[in-house]
Amino acid sequence: MDDDDLERMIGRLSAEYAEQLPDTLAQMEDLWRCVVAAEIPSLRLSELVRMAHSISGSGATFGLPQVSKTARELELFIEQLAESDRQPGPAEQEAVAALLAALRRAATQS
């Protein structure tokens, strides 16, 4: 495998990652809506933490540093909520919604 082959492979993987990212974000938004509506226990916040953590690491790997940075902010914020073991309040709901929207914007601008 020469350098050109490697570059093509990395480009293809990056494109595939960017293509599936909106679906992952939609899953995160749906999960968050269910937590806010108390349809599922706030214990499921750990699932959101895991998803944000995954995007935080993979975003930078695939050349999306703003996606990575925003996902890390979301991860840290939700992690604090998860540790509190309570339903998110209005200010927390607004903050997470804003971070999710910022993450979606970062993903579509890349």
> Tens digit of pLDDT per residue, the chain (110 long)?
788 888 888 889 888 999 999 999 999 999 999 999 887 777 789 999 999 999 999 999 998 999 999 999 999 999 999 888 788 899 999 999 999 999 999 999 86
pLDDT value of residue 53: 97
Provide the whole-model pTM: 0.89
Q: Which two tokens stand for residue 64?
A: 């999306």
Inter-residue contact 110 to 18 (CB < 8 Å): yes
pLDDT value of residue 44: 82
Closest CA relative to residue 68, chosen from 27, 29, 107: 107
Closest CA relative to residue 48, chosen from 18, 71, 23, 20: 71
